[in-house]
Amino acid sequence: MGVVKSDNAPVKLGITGGVGSGKSFVCEYLQEKGIRVASADDMARRAVAPGMPAYRKIVDYFGPEILSADKTLDRKQLRDIITRDPAKKQVLEQCVHPAVFAQMAAEYQAASKNHDPVYAVEVPLLYESGMEGFFDYVLMILVDQERRIARLMARDRISRAEAEALIRIQMPEAEKIEKSDFVIDNNGSHDQTKQRVDMFYNRLMRQIK
């Protein structure tokens, strides 16, 4: 897919991959190469801060027991709920996603004014949330499932069953590969991944010139 970019219109790049795939490592390296990468998770956290409209909707639906002692949302409890109940997962997304879209649109306008060549956003649930239409290109980070499970268990201190439940609520990797414009295999060493990111970066920059 080719994209014609005007001087004031950054190319919109979505970066996704299954939970535990190592998206953050790739995004950090892209930032070292000069691409500023925003985080949809950070946008979602801002959207559900106490007092925000999405926060009030979530508390109204799930009840005050979903709150931590400091009145912020108990993210682990919410995660446990949505891995067991797809209907509640959909409700949570309907509360949060519009606010994330609004932040993305505002940041894109700022990137345009700054004449940035690329506006990149790390979106873990890009396809599941229907956000692919916002982006010109999608980069997927791919890792074998066993590695993802091990990373999740270590990172979040959860059981294998909990890690597998998190993976099950996401779109199968094969479908994401089919939908994505670029795929980076992150199964090797950090140096190998950096080499693959270099190749992607060079290809992307050639295509958008």
Average pLDDT score over residue span 130-158 = 92
Could you tell me the pLDDT band of residue 133, with boundaries at 50, 70 and 90?
Answer: very high
d(CA 56, CA 61): 9
d(CA 203, CA 209): 10
**pLDDT above 50 (res 67):** yes
Quick: pLDDT tens for 23-32.
999 999 999 9
The full set of domain ranges for the chain reads 11-204
Architecture of domain 11-204: 3-Layer(aba) Sandwich (3.40)
Instruction: Identify the pLDDT of residue 34.
Output: 93
- The residue type found at 201 is Y
**pLDDT above 50 (res 4):** no
CA dihedral 10, 111, 198, 14 (to 10 degrees): -70
Which two three-digit tokens encode residue 169?
């609520």
Long-range contacts of 154-157, Cβ-Cβ distance < 8 Å, separation of 24 or more: 155/20
Quick: pLDDT tens for 17-52.
988 888 999 999 999 999 989 999 999 999 999 999
Could you tell me the pLDDT band of residue 207, with boundaries at 50, 70 and 90?
Answer: confident
